[in-house]
Amino acid sequence: MSGGGDTQHTRAPDGRQLTFAEWGDPNGFPVFALHGTPNSRLARHWDTGKYVQAGARVITYDRPGYGQSDRRAGRRVVDCVADVAAIADALDIERFAVTGASGGGPHSLAVAARLPDRVTRAACEVSPAPYDTADFDWFEGMDPLNVREFGWALEGEQVLVRELEREAASLLERVAADPATILGDDWGLSESDRAELARPERREIIREDIAEALRAGVLGWADDDLCFAAPWGFDVSEIRVPTRVVYGVTDVLVPVRHGEWLGRNVPNAEIVAEDGLGHLGDPELVTERVGWLVAPV
């Protein structure tokens, strides 16, 4: 049996609505998969049967301000921990694994750090390092368009929201016409990323995911950028659970140096450096990646 992603709701400790979905084997081991920026609970592999093969019950949710989850203005990365715990409690799940890619990466590390009695394994894929890291050039090797976006974040919420509203209008128009153009023509993406975006299987997933992510506007996207450019509220050195750090060597959205830094600073991390790949990993590896997360510790 393969879960179909029916929309579900619960409440955060402060009363906000949290919206989530489940995919894969409803009797499998729970895995929270935390989406990127900007994405939604609808971001998943196009073949959820892969989750069934891995023995996983995959849970996705809209971070505050995205999709149907209420905004939490001024949130920090670490604030996701209470939201994940609330969803797990609503589902009567005590123990689970957690993973996050891109903008979901810092959030997965936060959950691993702050819920050590509940998290069995964790993974972060193509995740940025903390912005306030000493002696680390956060922007080195990053595509100029990504540098520009975080420059808006450093100017403050008003500037960032104004610019992202303009970006979102163009993004939605492009995705409606051709999901492969989600990032436009001006990004210096690796060949592997361009090939992945052109996969026909991705088309409808991208369309529905982006439409849902931005259904209430850009505030979730803006809050993500703002919290990445501020202290995360926890230190990766706190992590004690088995953790994988995965990064693409040719990534220009989150450059390789970020993954290398996390690999050095997450205690006892298993490092997976993907030669020849960029920001988008190989979808054929999903069963192995999820299988690692659900394996007994």
User: Given pLDDT bands bounded at 50, 70 and 90, which one contains residue 191?
Assistant: very high
Through-space distance between the first and last CA atoms of the chain, rounded to whole angstroms? 25
Of 14 and 1, more confident: 14
pLDDT exceeds cutoff 70 at 18: yes
Mean pLDDT for the stretch of residues 199-212: 96
Q: For residues 254 and 93, is the Cβ–Cβ distance under 8 A?
A: no
Mean pLDDT for the stretch of residues 215-221: 98
- Dihedral, CA of residue 68, residue 74, residue 79 and residue 83, to nearest 10: -20
**Type and span of the H or E element at 61:** strand 56-61
Residue 285: the pLDDT is: 96
Place of tokens 């964790």: 122
Mean pLDDT for the stretch of residues 161-181: 97
Main-chain dihedrals φ then ψ at residue 258, nearest 5 degrees: -65, -45
Say how far residue 14 (Cα) sits from the centre of its chain: 23
- The rounded distance, in Å, linking the Cα atoms of 118 and 136 is 32
Mean pLDDT for the stretch of residues 163-186: 95
Q: For residues 287 and 54, is the Cβ–Cβ distance under 8 A?
A: yes
Mean pLDDT for the stretch of residues 21-33: 98
User: Given pLDDT bands bounded at 50, 70 and 90, which one contains residue 2?
Assistant: very low
Mean pLDDT over each residue of the chain, to the nearest integer: 97
- The rounded distance, in Å, linking the Cα atoms of 12 and 53 is 32
Q: How many residues does the chain have?
A: 297
Nearest to 222 by CA among 181, 270, 169, 164: 164
pTM of whole model > 0.85?
Answer: yes
Mean pLDDT for the stretch of residues 275-287: 95
Q: For residues 54 and 224, is the Cβ–Cβ distance under 8 A?
A: no
- The rounded distance, in Å, linking the Cα atoms of 77 and 83 is 11
Residue 1: the pLDDT is: 33
- Dihedral, CA of residue 78, residue 81, residue 83 and residue 85, to nearest 10: -170
Residue 62, helix vs strand vs coil: coil
Helices within 184-279 (DSSP H only)? 191-197, 203-213, 219-228, 256-265
Whether the bond into 283 is cis, omega within 30 of 0: no
- The rounded distance, in Å, linking the Cα atoms of 297 and 285 is 21
Residue 5: the pLDDT is: 85
Mean pLDDT for the stretch of residues 19-41: 98
What is the radius of gyration, based on Cα positions, of the chain? 17
Residue 286: the pLDDT is: 97
pLDDT exceeds cutoff 90 at 162: yes
Residue ranges making up the domain that contains 261: 3-294
Name the percent of the chain lying above pLDDT 70.
99
Helices (H) and strands (E) in the chain, counts: 10, 9
Which of 36-50, 61-75, 107-121, 182-196 shows the lowest mean pLDDT across its residues? Answer: 182-196
Q: What is the CATH number of the domain that holds 96?
A: 3.40.50.1820
Span 222-239, pLDDT tens digits: 999 999 999 999 999 999
Mean pLDDT for the stretch of residues 9-14: 97
CB atoms within 10 A of CB 26: 11
Residue 3: the pLDDT is: 54
Place of tokens 């991390």: 269
Mean pLDDT for the stretch of residues 76-88: 98
Count how many domains the chain has.
1
Mean pLDDT for the stretch of residues 137-145: 97
